[in-house]
Amino acid sequence: MLDPKMEKALNAQINAEHYSAFLYLAMAAQFAELGLPGGQQWMTAQYKEELVHAQVLFDYVIERGGRVELEAIAKPPTTWPSGTKMFEDAYAHEQKVTGLIHDLASLALELKDHATYQFLQWFISEQVEEESTASDILQKFKLAEKDAAGLYQLDKELGTRVFVSPTVYAW
C-alpha cells in the first residue's frame, strides 16, 4: 500500500507527464507551421513517449493499491519563433522533470518506500537520456539556425525518429 504522501506525489507526476505530452504535441504543431516536418515527427514521437511515462506511473499506483486522481492539465505554450527556441524550452522542461523525478525518489527514501524508490530508477535513467538528447539537438539547431541547408539536413535527421514504446522493467 502506498503512503498517502507518495500517492499524492505520484499523482502529481502523472499530471506532469500529461503536461509534458501536451507541450511536445504543441511543439509538433509549431514545427508543422514552420514547414519542418522532421521536427514535427520528432516531437510527435516525444509526445507519445510522455504518454507512456504517464501510463507507467498510472499502472504503478494502481498496482500498489493506490488511487489515481487525474487533474486538469495546464495549457502549454503554443507558439515559438524557431526550432532553436523549441529545443531550448524542451531542454529546460526536461531539466525540470528531472528535478520532479529526483524529488519523488527522495520522498520514497524518506518514507522508506523501497519498492517505489526501485521503480523510479528507470525514470531517473530515462531523464539522463532525455536531457542529453534535448541538449544535443539544441546544439545542432544553434549551429544550423542561420544556414538553410544545415536546417534542412537537421530536419531530415529529426524526421528519421520512429516512436518505439520504451521498455520499462516490470516492478
Q: Residue 145 — very low, low, confident or very high, per pLDDT cuts 50/70/90?
A: confident
Owner of C-alpha cell 498517502: 4
In whole angstroms, what is the distance from residue 30 CA to residue 81 CA? 9
pLDDT, tens digit, 9 for 90 and up, residues 32-63: 999 999 999 999 999 999 999 999 999 999 99
Owner of C-alpha cell 524508490: 117
| Predicted model pTM | 0.95
Q: Which three cell numbers stand for residue 48?
A: 507519445
For residue 94, the surrounding DSSP H or E stretch is: helix 83-110
Residue 167 has pLDDT above 90, yes or no: no
Helix 114-144 to helix 37-63 angle (10° resolution) is 170
Average per-residue pLDDT in the chain?
A: 96
In whole angstroms, what is the distance from residue 20 CA to residue 25 CA? 9
Domains and CATH numbers, the chain: 4-71+80-158 (1.20.1260.10)
Half-sphere exposure in the Cβ direction for 152 (13 Å, CA): 3
In whole angstroms, what is the distance from residue 89 CA to residue 85 CA? 6
